[in-house]
Amino acid sequence: MKVILFLYLLFLSVYANKPRIWSRIPKFYVDTRVKYFINNRGITDCFEFKESENNLLLKCWKNNKLTDVSIMIEPGKRKKNRFHGLTISI
């Protein structure tokens, strides 16, 4: 039982961080890309509330249901790459 629990925890720790592939948006086309993203998901008929200087909240109708949308600007922080070694001995 302990081995199964250990393997399960090992599996969770390995797959906890999904790899992300960032694709470049050409300069001055960010608004077009955001508009495409919102329109493509059927987000229409919205009310807005400016929560803060960097956060816009929307209440929108999507498929006859009220949907919350949040657009937030957060300053980027550089993260250090942390490599965790793993050794298993049997």
pLDDT given at position 75 = 84
Q: Is the confidence at residue 3, as pLDDT, over 80?
A: no
Question: Three-state SS across 42-73?
Answer: CCEEEEEEEEECCEEEEEEEECCEEEEEEEEC
Q: Supply the DSSP symbol for 16.
A: S
Cα→Cα distances 8→4, 13, 19, 28, Å: 6, 9, 20, 46
pLDDT, tens digit, for every residue of 8-64? 665 655 555 677 788 999 999 999 999 999 999 999 889 999 999 999 999 999 988
CB 43 within 8 A of CB 62: yes
Higher-pLDDT residue of 7, 55 = 55
Distance from C-alpha of 21 to C-alpha of 24, rounded to nearest angstrom: 10
pLDDT given at position 9 = 61
